[in-house]
Amino acid sequence: QVQLAESGGGSVQSGGSLTLSCAASGFTYSSYSLTWFRQAPGKQREGVASIGADGSITYAGSVRGRFTIFVDNAKNTLILEMHTLSPEDTAIYYCAASQGVNSWTRFNPRAYKTWGQGTQVTVSS
């Protein structure tokens, strides 16, 4: 069974850092597009950072320079390092994986078939 499980969320003060992890079971990350999404209350789910199946990396403008996405291949775990957090980063963060995602759709939630359950990130001012 293909599953994703996030961990690492929590509460932090503005300017702080958190690292999120997304462990895969039932499949390996190679040949998959992997993306972190987030959803704040009352807002649509938005793409934050993505690794394409070809290894290319894309960041949303709002997090570029502050967030880093990478895969720990030894652990088959997707990582999102987040620094200089602000209250605007408060949201539930989800990891998602799918094959067949192209550069035009990598931040489109409907392009992804497999999702984690989400982990809450709260940043206080």
Q: For 98-116, how does the pLDDT look when each residue is reduced to its tens digit (9 = 90+)?
A: 998 988 999 999 999 999 9
Q: Compute CA distances 27 → 44, 77, 120, whole Å.
A: 28, 11, 25
Structure confidence by residue, pLDDT tens digits, 115-125: 999 999 999 99
- CA-nearest of 5, 23, 36, 40 to 123 is 40
Which residues is 68 bridged to in the sheet? Answer: 81
